[in-house]
Amino acid sequence: MPARFPLDEAPRAIRLHRASGVTGAPPRVPFGLSSWTDDAQATAIALELPPLTVCKSAAAKPQTSGHVILDLAQQIARALPAPETLPAGALLVVLGDGSSSGGLVARVLQSIRRTESVPRAARATALLARGYTHIGAARDQASGHDLVWGFSGLN
């Protein structure tokens, strides 16, 4: 299995959930899978983040970094499906890159960048705030995605 993941084996299928405002080609499929599934009952779902905004003046000040993380977490939480709308035990994976409207060059640069663009802390906080459990994070070696995940309906 490519990523250190809290399952015995990688998901056999994963559905892509594109948040409102996301356009363009879908992201690479994680876990070494060859394609996204259209199965609405899939128990593994990946969320492609919507365009996120950060106040540049706040982001430039180290003392406001906590506020930036919380602001991003609030934006991400609004894009997450409610855990009770998913099958019990469903896995929700939040991909690390927000969608880009910067054109082809920005997408190419984004695809080869090896660092997370949306901090794990913001994605994990959003999952926790919405009620997901067993939250974790890892880099998927097969796709290069920085992943943060949580489960619905687990205690």
- The tens-digit pLDDT sequence of the chain (155 residues) is 444 565 667 788 999 998 887 888 898 899 889 999 998 878 899 998 887 776 655 545 555 567 788 888 999 999 999 999 998 899 999 998 754 444 444 444 455 444 447 899 999 999 999 999 999 999 888 888 899 999 998 76
In a domain, 83, yes or no: yes
In a domain, 5, yes or no: no
The whole-model pTM stands at: 0.78
Longest dimension (CA), the chain: 44
Give how many domains the chain has, as a whole number: 1
In a domain, 1, yes or no: no
User: What would the two tokens of residue 141 be?
Assistant: 């070696």
pLDDT of residue 1: 41
Task: Name the residue range of residue 67's domain.
Answer: 15-151
In a domain, 129, yes or no: yes
pLDDT of residue 98: 55
16, 17, 104 from 38: Cα distances, Å: 8, 10, 26
In a domain, 121, yes or no: yes
In a domain, 111, yes or no: yes
What is the total residue count of the chain? 155
In a domain, 35, yes or no: yes
Angle between helices 120-130 and 65-79 (to 10 degrees): 50
User: What would the two tokens of residue 60 be?
Assistant: 């430039």
Report the alpha-carbon distance of residue 131 to residue 136 in Å, rounded: 14
Residue pair 148/116 in contact (Cβ under 8 Å)? The answer is no
Report the alpha-carbon distance of residue 148 to residue 123 in Å, rounded: 7
Burial (CB < 10 A; 0-12, 13-18, 19+), residue 85, is exposed
**How many CA atoms within 13 Å lie on the side-chain side of 114?**
2
In a domain, 2, yes or no: no
